[in-house]
Amino acid sequence: MPRPNPRLVMKFGGTSVRDLARIRNAAEKVRAEVERGYDVAVVVSAMAGETNKLVGWVREASAGPEGGAAFYDAREYDAVVAAGEQVTSGLMALTLQQIGVPARSWQGWQAPLRTNAAHGAARIEAIDTDALDRKFEEGLHAVIAGFQGIGPDGRIATLGRGGSDTSAVAFAAALGAERCDIYTDVDGVYTTDPRMEPRARRLDRISYEEMLELASLGAKVLQTRSVELAMRYRVRLRVLSSFEEGPGTLVCDEDEIGEDSMESRVVSGVAFQRDEAKVTLLGVEDRPGVAAAIFGPLAEAGVNVDMIVQNISEDGRTDMTFSTSEDDLPKALKALETARETIGMREIVSDRDVAKVSVVGIGMRSHAGVAQKMFAALAREGVNIKVITTSEIKVSVLIDRKYLELAVRALHDAFGLHAA
Amino acid sequence: MPRPNPRLVMKFGGTSVRDLARIRNAAEKVRAEVERGYDVAVVVSAMAGETNKLVGWVREASAGPEGGAAFYDAREYDAVVAAGEQVTSGLMALTLQQIGVPARSWQGWQAPLRTNAAHGAARIEAIDTDALDRKFEEGLHAVIAGFQGIGPDGRIATLGRGGSDTSAVAFAAALGAERCDIYTDVDGVYTTDPRMEPRARRLDRISYEEMLELASLGAKVLQTRSVELAMRYRVRLRVLSSFEEGPGTLVCDEDEIGEDSMESRVVSGVAFQRDEAKVTLLGVEDRPGVAAAIFGPLAEAGVNVDMIVQNISEDGRTDMTFSTSEDDLPKALKALETARETIGMREIVSDRDVAKVSVVGIGMRSHAGVAQKMFAALAREGVNIKVITTSEIKVSVLIDRKYLELAVRALHDAFGLHAA
């Protein structure tokens, strides 16, 4: 038996396959990896704009001409929307063939990627790679329609928006790929948003844990779910640009960072979210179940709650503060007013002009004083801190929105993140 | 066991599902049949324009940026192009649900409709209706993506352009449907093209055989292949308009026409093809194999040959005449010049200004004199006949193109086809 080739998963998002010229550009990148000796599984999104068009049609068909209720059958949503990736997969296979790379497309139901029954937002249950393995042995590279699989009912099931990243990681795990390269429109993960701080630096490597904190905090490079999956199966992820040459950023186990990184850094990045809102419930009865009485109605109203802080209790009463997005604030206030009696509180105070800034880094686990250094840097700039929360590798604060740029730059500087 | 409902297949072509308003219009027609007590299987084409867009992308991807060879991988063509019907099937199911008709979409691979391995122009081998039957029992009507099935390789296989009609007939046969209604943009089959003869009349009924002759001669209402399939499985086809109310035309067994038709007509219609060309090879050696020597090279060159006439032989030489489309004429002449030596002939004469007119009718089997009546009618108008061919239910002539309208109207009148 000849030794099988190492395998690589390469995922191209919607902007990277927007038209046939871009599909060809992506195909050239695949050819380069094939020439390096890899068996490649390409995972593709729908061409940019296609998914939105199809979702729009689904909504319109479901609503009827008078624009009725927005309910729609998730199975049919899946059948319609999955067509977007199906088209790209075929076009990518044809383009690869045209430039001399033998390739074959695979739909979610063909691979198959098996999901649970949650149509429209299905979870991956298993991937059977036997058929793919056989085709690799025949020298046929794979082009896989991302974002989709087949449910227990034998019907197409999609993984929810952005699910193509998750497909790619799942295939990388199942195929035992050396790496999963995510091609996108940014050239890697930065220490902060370069539009905010021009001296922001691309990170060569970042741990899964840091990436999760950065992604959920607004770096918006990779879908959180795909990073979680990569972490669980130890899939090395590389984020890189379809449009510029460059090594991108490797998202990997923290051991791999320690090994060869010259950056024994404490903090990897400064993340932020501009449009936050803060809500404080004053004089809440301090009794068991009160948190549930507050956050239950918020969850039912579809409010995404981020930071939660409870101060110490005085005289059987406490103050409860949480943050949410500015968009969700009206919903949140309405839900709280409705539940006011049940909760038992004196007053609801809200502040819609706040922003959140976080410093993230695995190094802070072993380095004391990160929070202190952060607070000192903000104090030097006269930035008042309204709320603080911490996790093992992150410290976040809420501040007045007008100080956001100032705060990000001050922290980027204070933690030595500026480009050389 | 309750008695199962009678079944009906309803097929909507691309113009009938061009946008969501038209899909809804089609869905209302389905609801009307459901309310009449039918279990309905709706077969849909891609939205008008979608298939051409997808085929264009396939060609472009396969040709590369310099516009190389037109070869493309038929498996990938199928994966891309089948997405068009997939989208419509989901949207139709959603629209039916929205107007209160329980419905579920089925892709070709799901039903499944099994085909042979001829990707891009696959033939139907079998349809397994067990899953559909079960869903009908649950009260779920079916929306089937037309034009596609699954090949022996487990991949999507399309049936070739216009294959949705063929899908519809095949499902009607497999489901034992009472009828297969083909909704299109004309309201039935006419005695001739109404743009040519305003007194043309819609036929209430027409036999499979007549329909085949009319379709292949230019009536362009139904794909020939679907009529052949309907004839073989005795599927009653009804052609009717998506946009106007009316009974349409029933395509059925000739017994069913005889039974209740007040029209014991000899001729059902006058078909024509405007852009024909005539080629005559003069002084061809009259020896075994000479026809093959002529038509072999033409077939290889992709020339569609229609009528073929060989005159009697004199002095070991004969004249061979055939007709083809004007478009194919240059290819035909080139192929014949190349093969001139092999064929052995004196001269090639061609005429590009001819048209073909045919009278079609099952009645002519039992009525002598149809050909004679046709020739007399043309002679009265001074139309010279260049070539004649006949089949059991058809007489066709080639004439000068400038006399086409005159000839069609004269024949329509002579055979009593004018509307009352």
How many angstroms away from the CA of B1 is the closest CA of chain A?
26
d(CA B7, CA A166): 43
B85 is in an annotated binding site: yes
Residue A315 — φ and ψ, nearest 5°? 55, 35
Q: How confident is the model at residue B69 (pLDDT cuts 50, 70, 90)?
A: low
Q: Which amino acid is at B207?
A: S
Mean pLDDT of B168-183: 97
Nearest to A21 by CA among B146, B192, B64, B169: B64
Residue B259 confidence (pLDDT) = 47
Nearest to B217 by CA among B389, B39, B383, B420: B389
Q: Is residue A42 part of a domain?
A: yes
Q: CA separation (Å) from B413 to B62, B374, B408?
A: 52, 11, 9
d(CA B250, CA B208): 10
Angle, helices A83-98 vs A20-35, to 10°: value is 60
d(CA B51, CA A87): 11
For residue B158, pLDDT over 90 is answered with yes
Q: Which tokens hold the place of A130?
A: 């036997």
A354 three-class SS: strand
Residue B362 confidence (pLDDT) = 86
A179 is in an annotated binding site: no
Residue B250 confidence (pLDDT) = 95
Residue B218 confidence (pLDDT) = 55
d(CA A92, CA A98): 10
Q: How confident is the model at residue B260 (pLDDT cuts 50, 70, 90)?
A: very low
Q: Is residue A207 part of a domain?
A: no
d(CA A385, CA A310): 16
Nearest to A390 by CA among A364, A351, A411: A364
- Burial (CB count within 10 angstroms: exposed 0-12, middle 13-18, buried 19+), residue B295: middle
Verify whether the Cβ–Cβ distance B94 to A82 is below 8 Å: no
**DSSP readout, A198-262?**
TT--B-SEEEHHHHHHHIIIII-SS-HHHHHHHHHHT--EEEEESSS-S--EEEE-HHHHHHH-S
Interval B335-388: pLDDT, tens: 999 999 888 888 999 999 999 999 999 888 877 788 889 999 999 999 999 999
Residue B310 confidence (pLDDT) = 83
Residue A88 confidence (pLDDT) = 98
**DSSP readout, B132-152?**
HHHHHHTT-EEEEETTEEE-T
**Partner residue opposite A61 with nearest CB, options B79, B84, B98:** B98
Residue A363 confidence (pLDDT) = 83
A329 three-class SS: helix
Mean pLDDT, chain B, whole residue set: 91
Residues 6 or more apart in contact with residue B388 via CB below 8 angstroms? B309, B371, B395, B396, B397
d(CA A149, CA A163): 10
A185 is in an annotated binding site: yes
Instruction: Please answer whether residues B306 and B323 qualify as being in contact, where contact means their C-beta atoms are separated by less than 8 angstroms.
Output: yes
Residue A98 confidence (pLDDT) = 95
> How many secondary structure helices (H) and strands (E) does chain B include?
14, 18
Q: CA separation (Å) from A255 to A182, A229, A251, A371, B384?
A: 21, 18, 11, 24, 92
Mean pLDDT of B248-253: 94
B144 three-class SS: strand
d(CA A366, CA A363): 6
A88 three-class SS: helix
A172 three-class SS: helix
- Burial (CB count within 10 angstroms: exposed 0-12, middle 13-18, buried 19+), residue B196: middle
Quick one: closest CA in A to B64, which residue? A98
Q: Which amino acid is at A128?
A: D
Compute the half-sphere exposure of residue B88: CA atoms within 13 Å on the CB side of its CA.
Answer: 36
Residue A364 confidence (pLDDT) = 85
Residues 6 or more apart in contact with residue B330 via CB below 8 angstroms? none
What domain range includes position B153?
7-185
How many angstroms away from the CA of B417 is the closest CA of chain A?
43
Instruction: Please answer whether residues A7 and A40 qualify as being in contact, where contact means their C-beta atoms are separated by less than 8 angstroms.
Output: yes
Residues 6 or more apart in contact with residue B156 via CB below 8 angstroms? A107, B75, B78, B79, B82, B107, B108, B109, B148, B149, B150
Question: β-pairing, A7-12 with A179-184?
Answer: parallel
Verify whether the Cβ–Cβ distance A58 to B91 is below 8 Å: yes
Nearest to B189 by CA among B208, B170, B164: B208
> SS in 3 state form for B70-99?
CCCCHHHHHHHHCHHHHHHHHHHHHHHHHC
B190 is in an annotated binding site: yes
d(CA A123, CA A117): 8
Interval A68-110: pLDDT, tens: 666 789 999 999 999 999 999 999 999 999 999 999 999 999 9
- Residue A44's domain is classified under what CATH number? 3.40.1160.10
Q: Is residue B64 part of a domain?
A: yes
Largest CA-CA distance found in chain B, in angstroms, rounded: 77
Specify the DSSP class assigned to residue B216.
I
Q: Which tokens hold the place of B120?
A: 């891009």
Q: Is residue B30 part of a domain?
A: yes
How many angstroms away from the CA of B83 is the closest CA of chain A?
5
Residue A69 confidence (pLDDT) = 61
Chain-centre distance for alpha carbon B158: 17
Q: Report the DSSP beta bridge partners of residue A309.
A: A321
Q: Is residue B127 part of a domain?
A: yes
Q: Report the DSSP beta bridge partners of residue A39.
A: A7
Verify whether the Cβ–Cβ distance B79 to A23 is below 8 Å: no
Q: Is residue B52 part of a domain?
A: yes
Q: Is residue A367 part of a domain?
A: no
Interval A369-414: pLDDT, tens: 888 899 999 999 999 999 998 888 999 999 999 999 999 999 999 9
Residues 6 or more apart in contact with residue A34 via CB below 8 angstroms? A40, A101, A141
Q: How confident is the model at residue B80 (pLDDT cuts 50, 70, 90)?
A: very high
Q: Which tokens hold the place of A193?
A: 């948003």
Domains of chain A: total: 1
Write out the H or E segment, with its range, that includes residue B143.
strand B141-145
Instruction: Using 50 as the pLDDT threshold, list the residues of chain A that sit under it.
Output: 259-260, 262
For residue B6, pLDDT over 90 is answered with yes
Instruction: Please answer whether residues A235 and A41 qualify as being in contact, where contact means their C-beta atoms are separated by less than 8 angstroms.
Output: no
Residue A70 confidence (pLDDT) = 60
Chain-centre distance for alpha carbon A1: 40
Q: In this structure, what is the dihedral angle of CA atoms B195, B200, B202, B207, given to the nearest 10 degrees?
A: -100
Mean pLDDT of B47-66: 91
CB contacts of A77 in chain B (<8 Å) are 90, 94
Residues written for chain B = 420
How many angstroms away from the CA of A34 is the closest CA of chain B?
19
**Partner residue opposite A80 with nearest CB, options B54, B87, B98:** B87
% of residues, chain B, pLDDT over 90: 71
d(CA B98, CA A112): 31
Q: Which tokens hold the place of B170?
A: 């095949």
- Establish whether the linkage from the previous residue to A198 is cis, with ω within 30° of 0: no
B388 three-class SS: strand
d(CA A249, CA A207): 10
Compute the half-sphere exposure of residue B20: CA atoms within 13 Å on the CB side of its CA.
Answer: 20
Q: How confident is the model at residue B217 (pLDDT cuts 50, 70, 90)?
A: low
Quick one: closest CA in B to A104, which residue? B76
Residue B264 confidence (pLDDT) = 61
Residue carrying structure tokens 């080629």: B279
Q: Which tokens hold the place of A336?
A: 């709280």
Specify the DSSP class assigned to residue A47.
P
Residue A3 confidence (pLDDT) = 73
Verify whether the Cβ–Cβ distance B93 to A76 is below 8 Å: yes
Whether this model's pTM surpasses 0.90:
no
Quick one: closest CA in B to A107, which residue? B79
Q: Is B81 left (phi over 0), alpha (psi -120 to 50) or beta?
A: alpha
Q: What is the ipTM of this complex?
A: 0.81
Q: Is residue A57 part of a domain?
A: yes
